[in-house]
Amino acid sequence: MNDATARMRLESMLSELDRSIGILRGGQPAFHERSAADAGAVLTDADRNQAMLDVATRQRRSVLEALKRIDDGRYGLCVDCGASVPEGRLEARPEAARCVQCQSRRERRR
Ligand SMILES: [Zn+2]
């Protein structure tokens, strides 16, 4: 995948994410008069909304970082070890910052 293709895909991901984030931010469930039994359900909806917002916000940051790597001419190189990130991985996740080994090492650390 060349940089121009990657940039195009990342930019379309970015506008998609911006749209989702806008919807999620505006989409907090409205608080109506509810019985105590319903209060748990409201909280769960709000939690789920917040969790989705967190994921979208994190992904948006990765996309922005990937766009910056294109600008710097480092796109497609693992940010940890500098090895090239496999083409197939970038196809699936154009915002991927790490090769498979470094990513799994990082996820194990969490
Ligand atoms: Zn690596």
Task: Report the percentage of the chain scoring pLDDT > 70.
Answer: 84
Nearest to 70 by CA among 88, 85, 57: 85
d(CA 44, CA 14): 27
Pairwise pLDDT comparison (108 vs 68), residue with the higher score = 68
CA of 59 to the centre of ligand 1 (A): 19
Query: How many angstroms does the Cα of residue 14 sit away from the middle of ligand 1?
Result: 24
pLDDT of residue 44: 82
Please give the distance, rounded to the nearest whole angstrom, from the Cα atom of residue 69 to the centre of ligand 1.
15
Residue 34: other Cβ atoms inside 10 A: 11
Task: Report helix angle 3-26 to 36-72, nearest 10.
Answer: 160
pLDDT tens, 49-69?
899 999 999 999 999 999 999
Instruction: Please give the pLDDT value at position 90.
Output: 95
What pLDDT is stored for residue 33 in this prediction?
Answer: 47
Ligand 1 center to residue 9 CA distance, Å? 22
Residues of 56-76 as b/e, b for ≥16 C-beta within 10 angstroms? beebbebbeebbebbeeeebb
Distance 47 CA to ligand 1 centre (A): 34
